[in-house]
Structure 1
């Protein structure tokens, strides 16, 4: 998968959901693993692309000069505005994966994301694990949020991230049939535990040591550490030769 300039991404059409029948429904918990290849890419992420790319599901992009920063937006913890300030200062576009409650309660922040050129992604209306749902309910989980964002923000989402990191072949096919590409990640760390935040030094070290071309970086905006180190992290990525 090659992520295009974000402005071009917004013109892609999202097709109506159609029935999905044949794929395996076994639930799998995604993880990028710790083993890496000669390019510092997690082996499991490389294998994921190879196995599921035909379902428009990816853990890495094809652009080996680029790192894509993404945030999961489950609830607001007071740091998103600072994160947006930093992204604006550094001229970086990120992907923000919204849940339904976030889209409904944080309209000013969501509108700011749109106005400042970021990409909104779909993280499920209720953050339900897709493989645990019926076909009809899985489609509703995706499309009810899609339609809400379209109707209330005039914005058409096209990237989906599986809630809980749980997927099945059938779930990926369902997202594809709903017109979505599914993005996982190739780098992440434990940043979502608000009462057990890593130190800024630890967070920066872990994220820079894991850097690799084609990286899709998963961060959570509830993290005080992420809000503090984001500018320095972006500078570090660029100093390593990556486009962010």
Structure 2
């Protein structure tokens, strides 16, 4: 698909999703809500935080969102969260599948094929430096109507960085996503689940909502396919957000596990959904 066709298609998809969300429709326009009684879940670093590296300043700037999903009302004060969304609110047995750290040409295509086979949409939180090298995979995600979120440029521990470095990590990645999709990302996930006031504020200023997770598959520890499948099947419940990875190491277990637990979830009556924008 040519870039201008891809951009036009993405804008049409998101515009349509906005109408659905505003009307409170079911399907892909589910709203994610923060679990006020829970604290953000944090995974242990897989191999220690990435070393902070000097980043070239980006000229990329997004208008801050106003309230919930009203980017055109930029005169309204930006809504800044104090915790990430952890669960999904909605009717029925719905859950969200998310994949971090990609895209990776060794594993992401297999995950996309499995999702396509079952006509399922997922969220991919991509790192800018890998996304920039694999824009064709971002295009494939767009073709299949998956949702791409921002997972920083180089996967650092943001709570150890300065405000300017945090902004650069987010901005550069949003620029890559915007270029490939024709729309900036609406969702952000902090590496290692490490959040602080600056991370929330800068993400909000760039028009993104923070998303955590409910189930950590621990696939980044390569515990074995059976262990990953067992964790998803035993902890699955209405409203959960499942964390997996499609890059950042050997993700062959993650690929095999998805092939096993996805049909089980569908047979059990779960609806795999993705949010589009934020609505009250």
What interval of TM-score do these two structures reach, taking the shorter chain for normalisation?
Answer: 0.7 to 0.9
Q: Please, what TM-score do these two structures have when normalized by structure 2? A: 0.65
Question: For the residues of structure 1 that align with 2:99 and 2:172, how far apart are their CA atoms?
Answer: 21
SS at match of 1:228: helix
Aligned residue for 2:261?
233
Aligned residue for 1:58?
85
Matching residue within 92, 109, 113 for 1:81: 109
1:137 lines up with 2:165 in the alignment: yes
Q: Is the 8 A contact 1:45 1:60 kept in 2?
A: no
- Segments of structure 1 that go 5 or more residues without pairing to the other structure are 1-6, 13-43
Question: For the residues of structure 2 that align with 1:9 and 1:102, how far apart are their CA atoms?
Answer: 28
Q: Please, what TM-score do these two structures have when normalized by structure 1? A: 0.74
CA RMSD of aligned residues (A): 2.7
Question: For the residues of structure 2 that align with 1:218 and 1:60, how far apart are their CA atoms?
Answer: 12
Question: For the residues of structure 1 that align with 2:252 and 2:37, how far apart are their CA atoms?
Answer: 30
1:171 lines up with 2:199 in the alignment: yes
1:77 Cα shift? 6.2
Matching residue within 198, 201, 217 for 2:226: 201
Aligned residue pairs total 203
1:213 lines up with 2:213 in the alignment: no
Question: For the residues of structure 2 that align with 1:219 and 1:86, how far apart are their CA atoms?
Answer: 14
Q: Is the 8 A contact 1:70 1:219 kept in 2?
A: yes
Instruction: Assess, with a 3 A threshold, how the Cα gap between structure 1 residues 184 and 60 changes in structure 2: closer, same or farther.
Output: same
Instruction: Assess, with a 3 A threshold, how the Cα gap between structure 1 residues 201 and 45 changes in structure 2: closer, same or farther.
Output: farther
Question: For the residues of structure 1 that align with 2:227 and 2:125, how far apart are their CA atoms?
Answer: 25
Question: For the residues of structure 2 that align with 1:10 and 1:123, how far apart are their CA atoms?
Answer: 25
Moved over 3 A (4+): 7-12, 53-56
1:209 Cα shift? 0.3
| 1:152-201 residue CA offsets vs partner (Å, 9 max, x unmatched) | 442321110001221113321221222111111000122124xxx33332
Instruction: Assess, with a 3 A threshold, how the Cα gap between structure 1 residues 76 and 203 changes in structure 2: closer, same or farther.
Output: same
Q: Is the 8 A contact 1:129 1:167 kept in 2?
A: no
